[in-house]
Amino acid sequence: MARKRRKRYHPPGTQPGTLAAHDEAGDVPVRITAFLYDANRCEERTVSLSEIPSLSPPEGGVLWVDVSGLSEPAAIQAIGDRFGIHPLALEDVMNIPQRPKVEWYGDRMLVILQEIRYPEPVEQMSFFLADRVVVSFQERPGDAFEPVRERVRKGKGRIRAEAADFLLYSLCDAVLDAFFPTLEKLGDAVEEMEERVLLSPVPETFLAIRRIKRELLAVRHAVWPARDALNQLLIEEHALIRPGTKVFLRDCYDHTIQLMDMVETFREMASGLVDEYMSAVSNRMNETMKVLTVMATIFIPLTFIAGIYGMNFDTKASPYNMPELAWAYGYPALLLLMAVVAGGMLYYFRRKRWI
Amino acid sequence: MARKRRKRYHPPGTQPGTLAAHDEAGDVPVRITAFLYDANRCEERTVSLSEIPSLSPPEGGVLWVDVSGLSEPAAIQAIGDRFGIHPLALEDVMNIPQRPKVEWYGDRMLVILQEIRYPEPVEQMSFFLADRVVVSFQERPGDAFEPVRERVRKGKGRIRAEAADFLLYSLCDAVLDAFFPTLEKLGDAVEEMEERVLLSPVPETFLAIRRIKRELLAVRHAVWPARDALNQLLIEEHALIRPGTKVFLRDCYDHTIQLMDMVETFREMASGLVDEYMSAVSNRMNETMKVLTVMATIFIPLTFIAGIYGMNFDTKASPYNMPELAWAYGYPALLLLMAVVAGGMLYYFRRKRWI
Amino acid sequence: MARKRRKRYHPPGTQPGTLAAHDEAGDVPVRITAFLYDANRCEERTVSLSEIPSLSPPEGGVLWVDVSGLSEPAAIQAIGDRFGIHPLALEDVMNIPQRPKVEWYGDRMLVILQEIRYPEPVEQMSFFLADRVVVSFQERPGDAFEPVRERVRKGKGRIRAEAADFLLYSLCDAVLDAFFPTLEKLGDAVEEMEERVLLSPVPETFLAIRRIKRELLAVRHAVWPARDALNQLLIEEHALIRPGTKVFLRDCYDHTIQLMDMVETFREMASGLVDEYMSAVSNRMNETMKVLTVMATIFIPLTFIAGIYGMNFDTKASPYNMPELAWAYGYPALLLLMAVVAGGMLYYFRRKRWI
Amino acid sequence: MARKRRKRYHPPGTQPGTLAAHDEAGDVPVRITAFLYDANRCEERTVSLSEIPSLSPPEGGVLWVDVSGLSEPAAIQAIGDRFGIHPLALEDVMNIPQRPKVEWYGDRMLVILQEIRYPEPVEQMSFFLADRVVVSFQERPGDAFEPVRERVRKGKGRIRAEAADFLLYSLCDAVLDAFFPTLEKLGDAVEEMEERVLLSPVPETFLAIRRIKRELLAVRHAVWPARDALNQLLIEEHALIRPGTKVFLRDCYDHTIQLMDMVETFREMASGLVDEYMSAVSNRMNETMKVLTVMATIFIPLTFIAGIYGMNFDTKASPYNMPELAWAYGYPALLLLMAVVAGGMLYYFRRKRWI
Amino acid sequence: MARKRRKRYHPPGTQPGTLAAHDEAGDVPVRITAFLYDANRCEERTVSLSEIPSLSPPEGGVLWVDVSGLSEPAAIQAIGDRFGIHPLALEDVMNIPQRPKVEWYGDRMLVILQEIRYPEPVEQMSFFLADRVVVSFQERPGDAFEPVRERVRKGKGRIRAEAADFLLYSLCDAVLDAFFPTLEKLGDAVEEMEERVLLSPVPETFLAIRRIKRELLAVRHAVWPARDALNQLLIEEHALIRPGTKVFLRDCYDHTIQLMDMVETFREMASGLVDEYMSAVSNRMNETMKVLTVMATIFIPLTFIAGIYGMNFDTKASPYNMPELAWAYGYPALLLLMAVVAGGMLYYFRRKRWI
């Protein structure tokens, strides 16, 4: 999911506002779809490059231009020209990934979010809001907007009766809702690790924990600034965002807080897993050491005793030289002695609860 | 207690304000009880679905509608319609768990708290406050409100003489008071672990510590935002909350601070326990190692000496070949030497305080 | 010192403002002492329960009622009634321990502090300030107020010439001053541990460090909110606190900052001690391991060599079978070989600085 | 890259505003280049010390004085005198390194940034902004300004049509853009370490991780205060910075936030690497221990058994003395016994997954 | 340098404003020097106790009273009386150490700083600023003020032309400048430790790291509140501090930020050193373990084989009893076998890179 994606920067010193397609963007053709709707009807059509200059919201209605694929700077530039998007805003749209943010350019607004929709890679969603117009830019086809499109097409709920700000809210909400299943998956992964970490504290487990932490970090980087951006939308007064829509944006903001709560909980759990892994490795080492100690401690004295009676002192030279060797019950007695020593050791280890 | 409970989210893209019963809510039938009271009298009755539209607060009095069970969206919707609850507020009531919060919807207010009442699982308590009306929603029968009900029924204290905001305060206070015994239990558990961690640093102990940390985290997640919510109630001016009630809410806010203090203290103690566990494991390992070292270090030289005199050099071939074997006191002298070596080792270890 | 003291809460759901003596409070009889003073004279007397309603500050002077022992709700209630103390304030006085705080109830004020006066257990000090009246509540006889009483009795300093707010300041200052010797003791304990932790990293040392950290945490819990409370006193404008007294309260606030500095320094040092303990345990283990390795590595090859010449190959069967056994200098040469091997090992270990 | 560079301070007590060249600055000759441009033309020339007093911006245009090399206090002083730079500002320019900051001196402004342009060492860039004048000071020749110079020379983009504040923005942007490739390199290094840390947890790897952490810290020290400085430029109203330029500065500020995000992510990853290193060392130790334990545990009992039958009990003295020695199949049976013991051990270790 | 210095508190309950010399202050005689200067002349003289009441600033000029030694409360009191220093301010001057701070007492001001001038112990510097008067109190003779005195005596720079606030700034600046060489020394020490920690991870190294951390903590405790104090001077409007002086104070404030940056960098490096020490100890242990394992694993099987052929099975009793003993090449073959076993082991360890 959290495929590595570094900031693809312009070569240092590039003139501000320069549009250039990034390597990763290159293969995806640009597809532009327009929805023109008001309370009573909805028209949906694919738009070619040449039609862009004539795109207009229907009278009393809303125009939603959905751009998927960022490989053609010319098309993006044409849309920017048509709707008066600031060159720096356009640059942010193409210069993926940007940090989620809200920016006002006079009476227009740019909202950038990062979508993490399991198991897709991260995708930047940029929304441009002007009077009665929403332009959405996405990196690839495939998004979380299908339910919104359905509602626009069929006029379900209040979406067709509302202005462009409500459409913006609906799209942001769709992006943020897609985080919940992703986090659910990560939560399951954390819990699976909790089982595994104590049973098999092997390096693979450690790597799996690291991978989960990495993905949680990616989600955090996508959600944390989104929360700030939504808060900014709520606080600042702007003609484009009507008070009635703010109630809905507050709900959306609330979701980001819940997402952060989940992320932080999982991150804390994942951090605990590293401790547990280290503790499990220590415990294993202790077990290994105990086996060695028990074996060595039992047999080393026995071997010593056997060594004693393997000495070659000349029993004939003196009656003091190992007379035991010639005793009638010397050997059985020695075996008994050895058994007693071993038994004593075992009893000692049993009492120490090592075996 | 802290039974796992993830956010049960709508499928991404669900229309905002959609009410749907969650799996967990499914088995609990909805029971609606209404209290109608003023300073002089109190009427308590069970309300059926059809009676909802005609529910009204008594003249000059307060209406408390207590809804237990969230399995029937129709009932919840009916109550929402009757009292003008915003669709997003209703969605939050059903979409458990929500983060504790306070939200104003014009002249109405929604308060959400999480109740952790040992040994019950976490339960979301949602309160809706309007002029002379309080509606409380709970997930299941069984709550901390019985003393409040008693006071309302019998007119104990000032509750019947006060307005709806005082009832809201009383209910919030009851929810928060229930945290104290829960934390007491967790504090006892932490202290029990402090004994155990040094005596038996086994993986089970580690798991028990982890469990306690998990439950403290759950309490923290319930109390921390509740504190913010109460603070918001105190700071913001709103006609529904009279200044006289704020003195009581301040007391309630104070309780959340005390709860946070307790939670943080226990959490710090529990974090220390992990260190202690690791240190105890290390100490055990050190003990094991010392036993091994003492045994090996005493017997390895002795075994070597015995090995020397087990060699088969031909004593007859040369007078230099192990003449000791034929000495009259060779064997006793050797045993003495061995005793001296062992004694020296023991003295050395005693001085190092290993034995 | 930091005897465990959890919040003794009412049973959940208790009506707000209910007064009840706590178990711990039970044995200490209530003693009430009144100081009536103005610039010229000072009267000190013990007050019985029946005299409470007639207590009044002298004309142009100050009344200080000092209540020691919280076992009789009736007495506390009588004092509360006489001086118009809010029921919630009285509840906080009896419901020990409360977090240190300042609370205004209209034109009256409640200040709660925790006194940690070595080696006494923690004691809650509650101060109620009204016009020309200070009521102080303490859990037990024995306090840090004796120097204040002396100054009131003998008219030393400016205390008798000032109003009730200066008395309040003097009492708070006395409580906070008592922290300094306590922290001095804890600082000494931390420094003693720094010596011990490297010399004898045994579990007892770890437990002692844990105990110190616990006590520092207790002091922190008493001082940190006291700082906030004093800051609040400084910032908020209130008729009861005259600007001239604020200069003194600022000094008092300054002391809390110094106390926090000391606490945090000691806490940081104590945290470092845990690291040092772990490092000392590791070092010990390393030492143990080196002893084992040195002994084993020297004697294992020697024992092997001795084992070789203990084999029973039939020297008569073949000239290749251990002819060394019959050499004239075989045995001395072997002993020499062994000495060389052992010496080489010792040299190797010496170079590695293991011995 | 992050060559060690401590603050080179004046000797304590030096009079404020004293200019002195620092050791490090000593070898680099001062080169002064002036750009005089307006919308229509651009003049670029090298300026000698004597020409400084006569430098002026062209009518309706902008003067950019670029000073490279800080070895001659006299030249710096002359420029300061010509453009009215405050002595303390000049001192900051020469007293490298300063923390990145923005400072207003009446109607003039000083901006200080640190440039980290891989693989160059850190270089302080100081910008002085006055009405129609920008003076830039750098420690050495070689900078990230070439694209800006190109745009000024050739009139590309809007730079020649804008005022001095836009030139300041362009220079700051160039400095900050140079951080991206540097961070990319550090990110690659972190990822390379992630591979290496598990494969070869040797001290060299640890040192490499430490080096990366050091360099990330250096970047952080350069970017964090730059972010604050840019934010200050955005927030404060000042005649020198026109609102139109603020949109561009906001973009620049946005870059610092992205840089901080990258730095913090890499720092978190690098911190995780230390844990992984320790865990890999532990795992290695565990492996070593297992090898030892397996070998010792298999052979110690076998050696003991062999020791038994190496004893010299006199078989003729008693039928109980080691009769096995004379059995016909004694030796093969014993070898079989040994094989069984060794096999049992191996089976036990296999089941424990040690081998 | 960072000689231990705890807060020397009054006995708890001491009347506020009581002056008492502390033990440490006792031996240093009080020396009072006065500088009376204006733009044109400067008079410097030693002042006796009896002259204090008649000290006055020259007309249109500034009086600087420098008090060194705090052993005589009477002298301090006399100065306080002469210049109207608040009793609590005087108490702070004598009650060393105080936290660095700025305090206004009506139209007078107290500034307290801690001077850490390597290798001197910490010294409290208190400055009292009134109209045209600065009184400085230091614990001992010897300070960082000599360059300031020179500038006052010789009229270098602007100091004689400025008011008392500029003198105060110059003194504060001198105190703060003295931190830079101290931190340089600590930085060198940290870097030296970085070399040593990997080469010789012995407890002495750990102690040295601990000592450095302690000293960094002491510097932090001196600089951090000084930063806040200077910031307060900058922000608050007060007639005693003229706007022109604030530019210089801002420079001074900037130095404290640079100092904090250095302290935090060194602290972070020192914290990393503890990790490195632990890792180096672990590595050493691993090395030890490998030596043991290699030796034991090579020789244990060899010893076992030798043990086999040391058994006394009666070769005459049966042809199956150790016939090898009588083989012609038995012994050489066995030695060869042993060499093969040892070689195999060595090869295995070489492949595992243990040797």
Cα-Cα-Cα-Cα dihedral sign, residues E235, E239, E245, E247: positive
Residue C43 and residue C112 in contact, taking contact as beta carbons nearer than 8 Å: no
Q: Which of residues 171-230 of B touch C (CB under 8 A)?
A: 173-174, 177-178, 180-181, 184, 187, 198
Q: Which residue in C135, C219, C118 sits closest to C126, CA to CA?
A: C135
Residue D121 and residue D131 in contact, taking contact as beta carbons nearer than 8 Å: no
From CA B266, how far away is CA B270, in angstroms rounded? Answer: 6
* Extended strands (E) in chain E: 31-37, 42-47, 62-68, 101-105, 108-115, 123-130, 133-138
Contact assignment for C6 to B178 by CB distance below 8 Å? no
Q: How many CB pairs under 8 A join D and E?
A: 168
pLDDT band per the 50, 70, 90 thresholds, residue C2: very low
Number of DSSP helices (H) and strands (E) in chain D, helices first:
8, 7
Which chains does chain A touch, 3 or more C-beta pairs < 8 A? B, D
Contact assignment for B178 to C302 by CB distance below 8 Å? no
Length of chain A: 355
Out of B248, B262, B286, name the one closest to residue C7 (CB): B262
Higher pLDDT, C183 or E17: C183
Whole-number pLDDT of residue E5: 52
Contact assignment for B318 to C307 by CB distance below 8 Å? no
Amino acid residing at D120:
E
pLDDT at E212 over 50: yes
Enumerate the H helices of chain B as residue ranges.
73-83, 87-94, 146-154, 164-177, 179-199, 203-235, 243-308, 330-351
pLDDT at B2 over 50: no
B51 touches chain C (CB under 8 A): no
Q: What percent of chain B has pLDDT over 70?
A: 95
pLDDT band per the 50, 70, 90 thresholds, residue C200: confident
Contact assignment for E283 to D278 by CB distance below 8 Å? no
Query: Nearest-CA residue of chain B relative to C314?
Result: B312
E288 touches chain D (CB under 8 A): no
Residues of B in contact with C88 (CB under 8 A): 247-248, 251
Q: What is the mean pLDDT of residues D96-116?
A: 91
A244-248, B335-339, E94-98: which range is least confident on average?
E94-98
Q: What is the mean pLDDT of residues E75-88?
A: 93
Give the best residue of E3, E4, E9, E311 to mutate against chain C (max C CB count within 10 A): E9
A318-332, B64-78, E259-273: which range is least confident on average?
A318-332
A317 touches chain D (CB under 8 A): no
Amino acid residing at E176:
L
pLDDT per residue as tens digits for the range A144-194: 999 999 999 998 888 999 999 999 999 999 999 999 999 999 999 999 998
Query: Nearest-CA residue of chain E relative to C293?
Result: E292
pLDDT at E176 over 90: yes
Out of B291, B307, B315, name the one closest to residue A293 (CB): B291
pLDDT per residue as tens digits for the range C91-136: 999 888 889 999 998 889 999 999 998 888 899 999 999 999 999 9
Q: Which of residues 112-141 of A touch B (CB under 8 A)?
A: 117
b (16+ CB within 10 A) / e for C140-169: eeebbbebbbebbeebebbbbebbbbbbbb
C227-236, D193-202, D294-303: which range is least confident on average?
D193-202
pLDDT band per the 50, 70, 90 thresholds, residue C151: very high
Whole-number pLDDT of residue C171: 96
Q: What is the mean pLDDT of residues A99-106?
A: 91
Is residue B298 left, alpha or beta, with left meaning phi > 0 and alpha meaning psi from -120 to 50?
alpha
From CA E109, how far away is CA E107, in angstroms rounded? Answer: 7
Residues of A in contact with B98 (CB under 8 A): 254, 258
Contact assignment for A306 to D301 by CB distance below 8 Å? no
Q: How far is B176 from chain C (nearest CA, A)?
A: 8
pLDDT at E72 over 60: yes
Enumerate the H helices of B63-112 as residue ranges.
73-83, 87-94
A13 touches chain D (CB under 8 A): yes
Give the best residue of A5, A8, A9 to mutate against chain D (max D CB count within 10 A): A9
pLDDT band per the 50, 70, 90 thresholds, residue B186: very high
Helix (H) or strand (E) holding B37: strand B31-37
From CA E167, how far away is CA E159, in angstroms rounded? Answer: 7
E311 touches chain D (CB under 8 A): yes
Out of D12, D281, D312, name the one closest to residue E312 (CB): D312
Q: How far is D288 from chain E (nearest CA, A)?
A: 6
Query: Nearest-CA residue of chain D relative to E172?
Result: D13
Cα-Cα-Cα-Cα dihedral sign, residues C332, C335, C339, C344: positive
A333 touches chain D (CB under 8 A): no
- Parallel, antiparallel, or unpaired for β B62-68 and B133-138? parallel
E336 touches chain C (CB under 8 A): no
Contact assignment for B285 to A282 by CB distance below 8 Å? yes
From CA C306, how far away is CA B307, in angstroms rounded? Answer: 5
pLDDT band per the 50, 70, 90 thresholds, residue A2: very low
pLDDT band per the 50, 70, 90 thresholds, residue E24: low
Report the complex ipTM. 0.79
Whole-number pLDDT of residue E21: 73
Contact assignment for B318 to C329 by CB distance below 8 Å? yes
- Listed in sequence order, the residues at least 6 apart from E186 whose beta carbon sits closer than 8 Å to its beta carbon are E212, E215, E216, E219, E266
Whole-number pLDDT of residue D1: 45
User: How high is the mean pLDDT of chain A?
Assistant: 89
Give the best residue of D8, D15, D124, D219 to mutate against chain E (max E CB count within 10 A): D15
Out of E250, E261, E272, name the one closest to residue D99 (CB): E261
Contact assignment for A310 to B306 by CB distance below 8 Å? yes
pLDDT at D85 over 90: yes
Q: Which of residues 144-163 of A touch B (CB under 8 A)?
A: 144-148, 151, 156-157
pLDDT band per the 50, 70, 90 thresholds, residue C3: very low
Q: How far is C162 from chain B (nearest CA, A)?
A: 31
pLDDT at E8 over 60: no
Whole-number pLDDT of residue D344: 93
Q: Which residue in E236, E254, E21 sits closest to E111, CA to CA?
A: E236
D300 touches chain E (CB under 8 A): yes
User: How high is the mean pLDDT of chain B?
Assistant: 89
Strand, helix or coil for residue C175? helix
Out of C147, C151, C187, name the one closest to residue E6 (CB): C187
Quick check: bond before E147 cis, omega within 30? no
* Extended strands (E) in chain D: 31-37, 42-47, 62-68, 101-105, 108-115, 123-130, 133-138
Contact assignment for C272 to E326 by CB distance below 8 Å? no
Out of E88, E292, E326, name the one closest to residue C296 (CB): E292
Q: Which of residues 56-115 of C touch B (CB under 8 A)?
A: 86, 88, 91-92, 98-99, 101, 103, 105
Q: What is the mean pLDDT of residues D323-331?
A: 86
Contact assignment for D174 to A310 by CB distance below 8 Å? no
Cα C189 to the center of its chain, rounded Å: 11
D272 touches chain A (CB under 8 A): yes
